[in-house]
Chains A and B, each alone.
Chain A
């Protein structure tokens, strides 16, 4: 039996703005198991970042959680503790959860490090604050951590400032800081978008190795499907504040069911694309200031049916771990299959995999 670390149920989040209330997250549920990786993909504005910010309790001040639960299970000295993160106060989150149990790696290593503190100080800070480790011990552990993330000459580097390091090195430092308190969950918010492919590959491999070593769970947020294919066990595709398709990586990449996922997969050129024109999803995402009737993707959906404009599709179980939220999956719906070009591409991918 796999141990469930995080379970999110019916989470709904809104933001108060000058123009009215924006319903950024409209009821999502997903689970995270120990030692596994979930990747959340979607366009900007689909609510991926808001979801993890809610988990960390760092929503901006105009955001509030309407309903839902975020159940987080962790071990404290052999004792199993279960907490609903939504109910915790800001102070409790800061003291017991943020950084200590759930750590986060942000997109831009240039801005997430403090330019006026040495790297060593920044890595040690969390341990001293959360566990009251002595400076001497913290220093020793910090050096070990720097070595773990692949920084050569760690002793010397402890005294460096962030500006003395390259982008890839800085991201390694951020990962070391995140790992300093032995978290149960590591959240990576686009950890490699600001980096080059060669360094990206190294950082992804690093996170993977550490995950295996320490048996932690990882949530990835990204819009790069190549990255998802490399790291994830499970994928959740978000659109307009909802998860519209989720399943294991293989299910999502080799057997996508939602028209939006088809579009997402088609619009990305793989190294073998020769078509004249890339596929684009027509239209723009809906404005979440207004209530969205029916399926939020319907206006951009080539396969939309009448019911898509009237009623919201529930999550259909299409076998295995695969869930999809589109009326096309209903038993009475006309049989629609994915675009021919995508089908060809998936066939080719399957062949390569053999």
Chain B
């Protein structure tokens, strides 16, 4: 199967001044296949959000190649590719309070993409499209004429999802889409996203720091640290056979809802400066067809002992 998105050696640097630039993303590569969910995890500052934003071209990538649906979308794009990217790749943002225009009605928020790309013939069709999407995300027709402030956090996130879905995207980038929600609401939104995926075969790039949720929703996972993809593999591989010490420490830090286990669990600490690992020296080492670790030959030997 052809991947829907190929990221090759993506670099995203931000120039602070002439002498110094922040290397937020420093050469990462991965693929996403149609209909699957790729989870991107890592601590804050590891570059996971930057990766998502570079892919959808909210930033101008410094170097590297991004291929989406067979079109190259890094560097200069043709008019046609821009149109393709803007319709077929969509994003869901973290803060449902901040990402909706408070002065617009829900119907206009959702239809904005349709308006821009002239994807309907008449007003009737526009309305019908919005109603259909609203129903799909568990809201009703009556909600279309309300304003964002009249909704609860979970409902607002549904509007954000509806806005992405109305374009019939092939890939949705969900940047911490459920982090700001309550546990019970999180479950609702995650169920909704899964149901939609089943129906439309949309691929997700799911960016989050809550590992138990990532494990639940993702087919494959990439672990980012300091702008490097230190380990990637299927969910099974990452959780049962983590190789990289950073992945191990990350997994050991997930709090489990089990008091007796939790009370005397030791969390593995990992400090990059003291570990003596230099990410720029590492090569992409294949453990299996899907499982890749960033390491030098000696490190790999030591970690897999």
A is bound by B: yes
Q: Residue B25 at the A interface, CB < 8 A?
A: no
Q: How many residues of B contact A (CB 8 A)?
A: 40
Cβ of A229 and Cβ of B258 under 8 Å apart?
A: yes
**Is the Cβ of B215 less than 8 Å from the Cβ of A227?**
no
Across the interface, do B182 and A223 meet the contact criterion of CB distance under 8 Å? Answer: yes
Q: Are B250 and A230 in contact (CB-based, < 8 A)?
A: no
CB within 8 A of B153: which of A44, A264, A270, A281?
A44
Q: Once the chains bind, are B191 and A280 in contact (CB under 8 Å)?
A: yes
At the interface, is chain A mostly helix, strand, loop or mixed?
helix
Inter-chain CA distance A279–B190, complex, in Å, is 11
* Residue pair A249, B187 in contact (C-beta under 8 Å): no
**B45 x A226 contact (CB < 8 A):** no
Residues of B within 8 A of A200 (CB): 253, 255
CA distance A249 to B261 in the complex (A): 12
B residues touching A (Cβ–Cβ < 8 Å)?
43-45, 152-153, 182-188, 190-191, 194, 209-213, 215-216, 239, 249-250, 253-263, 265, 267, 269-270
Q: Which residues of A contact B (CB under 8 A)?
A: 43-44, 166-167, 195-202, 204-205, 223-230, 232, 249-250, 253-254, 263-265, 267-271, 273, 277-281, 284, 349-350, 352-353
Task: Tell me, rounded to whole Å, the shortest Cβ–Cβ distance linking A274 to chain B.
Answer: 9
In angstroms, Cα B257 to Cα A268, docked, is 9
The answer to whether A353 and B260 have CB atoms under 8 Å apart is yes
Contact between chains at A250 and B260 (CB < 8 Å): yes
Q: Please, which residues of chain B bring their CB within 8 A of the CB of A250?
A: 259-260
The 8 closest A-B pairs by CB, nearest first: A226-B255, A353-B260, A278-B187, A196-B43, A267-B187, A269-B216, A229-B262, A249-B259
Q: Nearest-CB distance from B213 to chain A (Å)?
A: 6
Majority DSSP secondary structure for residues of B touching A: helix
Determine if B184 and A196 form an interchain contact, defined as CB atoms under 8 angstroms apart.
no
Q: How far is the CB of B86 from chain A (nearest CB, A)?
A: 32
Whole-angstrom CA separation of A255 from B188 in the bound complex: 25
Q: Are B258 and A352 in contact, CB atoms less than 8 angstroms apart?
A: yes
Q: How far is the CB of B168 from chain A (nearest CB, A)?
A: 24
Q: In the complex, which residues of chain A have a beta carbon less than 8 angstroms from the beta carbon of B249?
A: 198
Nearest Cβ on chain B to A275's Cβ, whole angstroms = 9
Residue pair B191, A230 in contact (C-beta under 8 Å): no
Please indicate the chain B residues that have their CB under 8 angstroms from the CB of A349 in the complex: 257-258, 260-261
Please determine whether B212 and A271 come into contact, CB atoms closer than 8 angstroms: yes
Determine whether the beta carbon of A202 is less than 8 Å from that of B267.
Answer: yes
Contacts of B45 in A (CB 8 A): 166
Interface residue from A205, A280, A350 paired with B188 (Cβ < 8 Å) = A280
CB closest chain-B residue, reference A281? B184
- Partner of A197 from the list B194, B216, B250, B260 (CB cut-off 8 Å) is B250
Name the contact of A225 in the complex, choosing from B183, B213, B261, B265 (C-beta under 8 A): B183
Minimum CB distance partner of A230 in chain B = B262
Q: State the CA gap A230–B260 with chains docked (Å).
A: 8
Q: Given A226-B262, A250-B259, A281-B184, output 14 extra A-B contacts at Cβ < 8 Å.
A: A43-B184, A197-B250, A200-B255, A223-B183, A226-B257, A229-B261, A230-B259, A254-B259, A263-B184, A264-B184, A271-B212, A277-B194, A280-B187, A284-B152
